[in-house]
Structure 1
Amino acid sequence: MKIYFSIVLSAAIFANVANAQSLFDYSAPATGSAKCALINVIMDESGSMGGDQTFLKNVALPKMATELHSSNHNYSDVFVCSSGFGYSRTNNAQAYRHLGCTTYNSAGVIANSTALAWYANGAIEDGWYAMKHGMQDVPSSINGTDLLSHCARVDKNLILVTDEDRDDAYSNVDATNIANLIDTNGYILNVIANYGINNNINDFGMNIGGGGSNSTIFRFDSSAPDNHMTYQDFRPYETYVTSFGGTHPHYTELIVDKPGAAWNINSLRSGGLRAQTFADIFVDIKVKEISNGTGGPSGGGGTVRVGGPEAGGDPHITTWNHKEHYEYHGQCDLVMVKDPTFADGLGLYVHIRTKIVRYWSYIQSVAIRIDDDVLEIEGSADAHDDQAHYWKNFEYQGDLDTFAGFPVTQKLPSVYKRTYTIDLSSKFPGQEITIQLYKEFVRVKLNGNEQVFGNSVGLLGDYKTGKTLARDGVTVLDDFTDLGDEWQVLPSEPTLFHEIAHPQFPELCLKPEDPRGERKRRLEESSISEEDAEKACVSLKDPLAIKDCVYDVLATQDVDMVGAF
């Protein structure tokens, strides 16, 4: 930061005290009741980084903490840890140092600023080494609070800030090792680095999907809502994103096909409204990443994000740990999640029923069984229909104050929007299952740590790795049509829907005819352009939600589909 700390001794003492503590066990389940966030900052301490350090310390972190504590997200505790790398010291070639961990209150005030006492006069910068040890050096207890016994979930975000590529200080640290550690420890990584996107300083960030060939670009635009817009670029990102030296192989490749993002440090340094917009969008997206749950052993997460049909096929499904984000083209009953051992043997089964409409499909209804209770929910395409369409134990609109002993709440924000929340807190503090309806479209979200969903199988994949596994628990299915077909409900599995619908196994799931060709033809005939769809969806902020929303608006030719997200 621009505020340089001269009390070096106190920083060193603080770091040594933190390192003397027992370390956080990423593999252990969180058993408490609090909803916790952990932000881990890995900061370049070279001489050019003062302003960027100021941004994190005085703007980004306080704003993130305030929003996480707010009623929008309801975090009871926001922890922050930080490490520096690159500070020039003759006795430590990689110049890594863990500064410590502390907390932020709901007003965005830090409990101990020494944890962010970065320098700005460094030399050798090995960001891989710093990320590896920055995660390892998180203590088990922060400011007297034991994370695992206090928290029901610990949602984690890793932020690397640097204006250079890494110096190859230690050959025994490699990209595969770092990527695996980030995933295993349940972090989402964001990199603020020396990028140039389309040689345009207004393009200040990007989420990279499609193996590097499907990116959501965040662009500063003072004429747009919130002074920014998003657009898609389907070229390989290396063809239009420049970087400092080896920034791409060192850092960018760690976020390809991940929920994190790459951010242009030069846009931040440009100042003015552009830099303010960078700050606002960066904070908004980081908060949503954290609150969506990061997966991993002690994090939350695992979502079927169904805002409606997607051009070329639906639903949109995000696996545990955000490892994959995919679509399934087909109509049938599917096993989203099942775990016979759930809640000490009560058992959990979540089935979704998909329906084809022309060249796309959508989730028409969801049925959930816990213990001996069954709850089925569906929406309605009638904009004037304000009725709740659900069946409890196959009885239409049966008593729904509780379900399998868990409280259930309903909210009706509009005639065709409704939310059901199954509160699992009596057994799993802070955990829940949420079903959101928008017209006829259903979205299901599972919010829980490994203690809740760690043994589940189905369309969401393996909890720890997010791998899309077949029913044998070993074979990885990278073809998502095969994956969906694999998890069609079998006759040996419980019947959860109140009516039998075609097809049922051994009949195979129905597929749309020529979905991509039909999509292309219909888009050529459509009255809503891709630009219209992007404008309608720009307010969502989350890059994956924006992608889904754009496709869904184009497929349905309904700009109101943004309301499904």
Structure 2
Amino acid sequence: MQLILLPKNVLKTSGCLTAALALSLAVTPSALAASFADFVFIVDESGSMYGEHSWLGSMIGNLDASLQAKGLGTGSDLNRYGLVGFGNGYGGNLGRTVPVGGGVFGNASQFANATNSLTTSGYFEDGYSAIDYALNNYSFRNGAAVNFVLITDEDRDIGNSSLNFNNILSGMQAKNALLNVVVNSQMTGSNGQRAIGADAHGNTFMANGQGGFTTNSGGVTGPNYSYDTTKADYVNLAWATGNSTISGAAWDLNMLRAGGNTAKSFTAAFAEIKATEALKQTPHKIPEPASTLGLMALGLIGTSSMLKRKR
């Protein structure tokens, strides 16, 4: 919470009104950018996902380096990474915590080790249930840039029919969380080139043939392909998170699976774009307890009364 100090002459002449004004200013959310990030990776644990599990462990160092290069996680508060696995069958694992460094969150190195605990025995994948699990079982630091990354090659299997696009989106918005998805969905840029990924603002990210990437701002064109309902389930959900400045992005899983320089371009683009998104995010705010606000108000009013008696 940021406190606003007012001049003594203002306090002397305004009394309780000044206290109320000061209190309202004290709880006004800060417009400052986040200085660290909390990421949760939500990962399909079915048999076809082994390659993506390996990629996560090798990619996380790139992401953390990109975040730090932008000033996120360079102070006493490091960037944190959590891991949720999902997909172990009907009535089973709709979402589970994979410990990172012995806890729910850990650093990049601990996260890389934790990816070795992901399984490949699943067959029923409800990404909405897994996102809902993360929303209800992970707590985020005040001032963090909160990011979810869903990784799956399937569309949604409905394991919890009470969950839908709208209430999952609302849950993410309540946490100021941005969603990216790495899914079985093809996107084409306005230049006719197949994209590594794209955001809701019409930016498409293209492999440059040398392990790097370029950005095209001409929007997503077609024809494109998505596995069954993947676009409606996940791509549109990612694109709906964010605001007029930033949005979540969708990434073509099959460009990662292409290997070689294309896969290198995928990793480079993902790490850089995710770090840029996090830098622009509105920080997560934990509401102040009513008791704290009440004590502040009493203190301000008492200070005002004392100053009035001294006049």
Q: TM-score, normalised by structure 2?
A: 0.70
Higher strand share: 1
The offset of 1:255, in angstroms, is 2.6
The offset of 1:136, in angstroms, is 1.4
Does the Cα contact within 8 Å between 2:84 and 2:96 map onto a contact in 1?
Answer: yes
User: Hey, what does 1:408 align to over in structure 2?
Assistant: none
Q: Distance in 1 between matches of 2:113 and 2:253?
A: 24
Q: CA RMSD in A?
A: 3.0
User: Hey, what does 1:322 align to over in structure 2?
Assistant: none
User: Hey, what does 2:171 align to over in structure 1?
Assistant: 181
Higher helix share: 2
User: Hey, what does 2:19 align to over in structure 1?
Assistant: none
Greater Rg, structure 1 or structure 2?
1
- Among 130, 148, 155, which residue is 2:145 paired with? 155
* Paired residues for 1:95-494 under 5 Å: 95-100=94-99, 101-104=104-107, 108-110=108-110, 113-114=113-114, 117-139=117-139, 147-148=141-142, 153-198=143-188, 202-209=194-201, 215-222=202-209, 227-234=212-219, 239-256=222-239, 258=242, 259-298=247-286
Does the Cα contact within 8 Å between 2:186 and 2:194 map onto a contact in 1?
Answer: no
User: Hey, what does 2:81 align to over in structure 1?
Assistant: 80
Does the Cα contact within 8 Å between 1:201 and 1:267 map onto a contact in 2?
Answer: no
Q: Distance in 2 between matches of 1:135 and 1:116?
A: 23
The 1:71–1:204 alpha-carbon spacing in structure 2 relative to 1, beyond 3 Å, is closer
Does the Cα contact within 8 Å between 1:187 and 1:294 map onto a contact in 2?
Answer: no
| 2:229 partner letter | G
The offset of 1:230, in angstroms, is 2.4
Q: Distance in 2 between matches of 1:86 and 1:201?
A: 33
Q: Distance in 2 between matches of 1:204 and 1:64?
A: 16
Does the Cα contact within 8 Å between 2:81 and 2:106 map onto a contact in 1?
Answer: yes
- Identity rate, percent: 24
| 1:193 partner letter | V
The offset of 1:35, in angstroms, is 3.9
Q: Distance in 2 between matches of 1:68 and 1:109?
A: 15
SS in structure 2 at match of 1:43: strand
SS in structure 2 at match of 1:281: helix
| 1:240 partner letter | P
| 1:231 partner letter | N
Q: Distance in 1 between matches of 2:276 and 2:109?
A: 20
* Paired residues for 1:514-553 under 5 Å: none
User: Hey, what does 1:368 align to over in structure 2?
Assistant: none
Does the Cα contact within 8 Å between 2:144 and 2:284 map onto a contact in 1?
Answer: no
Q: Distance in 2 between matches of 1:167 and 1:206?
A: 24
| 2:256 partner letter | L
The offset of 1:54, in angstroms, is 1.1
Q: Distance in 2 between matches of 1:167 and 1:57?
A: 26
Q: Write the deviation string for residues 316-347 of structure 1: whole angstroms up to 9, x where unpaired.
A: xxxxxxxxxxxxxxxxxxxxxxxxxxxx99xx
Q: Distance in 2 between matches of 1:85 and 1:294?
A: 28
The offset of 1:135, in angstroms, is 2.0
The offset of 1:116, in angstroms, is 6.0
Does the Cα contact within 8 Å between 2:145 and 2:284 map onto a contact in 1?
Answer: no
User: Hey, what does 2:14 align to over in structure 1?
Assistant: none
Q: Distance in 2 between matches of 1:198 and 1:111?
A: 32
Count, aligned residues: 245
The offset of 1:253, in angstroms, is 1.4
The 1:116–1:83 alpha-carbon spacing in structure 2 relative to 1, beyond 3 Å, is farther
Q: More deviation in 260-269 or 62-71? A: 62-71
Does the Cα contact within 8 Å between 2:46 and 2:87 map onto a contact in 1?
Answer: yes
Does the Cα contact within 8 Å between 1:36 and 1:77 map onto a contact in 2?
Answer: yes
Q: Distance in 2 between matches of 1:71 and 1:79?
A: 16
Does the Cα contact within 8 Å between 1:162 and 1:194 map onto a contact in 2?
Answer: yes
Q: Distance in 2 between matches of 1:120 and 1:276?
A: 24
Q: Write the deviation string for residues 327-386 of structure 1: whole angstroms up to 9, x where unpaired.
A: xxxxxxxxxxxxxxxxx99xxxxxxxxxxxxxxxxxxxxxxxxxxxxxxxxxxxxxxxxx
Q: Distance in 2 between matches of 1:274 and 1:234?
A: 21
Q: Distance in 2 between matches of 1:243 and 1:270?
A: 17
SS in structure 1 at match of 2:196: strand
Q: Distance in 2 between matches of 1:112 and 1:127?
A: 22
The offset of 1:56, in angstroms, is 1.2
The offset of 1:110, in angstroms, is 1.8
Does the Cα contact within 8 Å between 1:205 and 1:263 map onto a contact in 2?
Answer: yes
| 2:95 partner letter | Y
Structure number with the bigger relative contact order (C-alpha 8 A, sep ≥ 6) is: 2
| 1:205 partner letter | G
Q: Distance in 2 between matches of 1:54 and 1:35?
A: 29
Does the Cα contact within 8 Å between 2:187 and 2:224 map onto a contact in 1?
Answer: yes
Give unpaired runs (5+ residues) of structure 2.
Answer: 1-28, 288-298, 301-311
Q: Distance in 2 between matches of 1:116 and 1:69?
A: 25
Q: TM-score, normalised by structure 1?
A: 0.40
Does the Cα contact within 8 Å between 1:45 and 1:120 map onto a contact in 2?
Answer: yes
The offset of 1:118, in angstroms, is 1.0
The offset of 1:284, in angstroms, is 0.6
SS in structure 1 at match of 2:199: strand
Q: Distance in 2 between matches of 1:181 and 1:64?
A: 25
The offset of 1:176, in angstroms, is 0.1
User: Hey, what does 1:58 align to over in structure 2?
Assistant: 58
The 1:294–1:119 alpha-carbon spacing in structure 2 relative to 1, beyond 3 Å, is farther
SS in structure 1 at match of 2:154: coil
User: Hey, what does 2:66 align to over in structure 1?
Assistant: 67
SS in structure 2 at match of 1:77: coil
The offset of 1:222, in angstroms, is 2.5
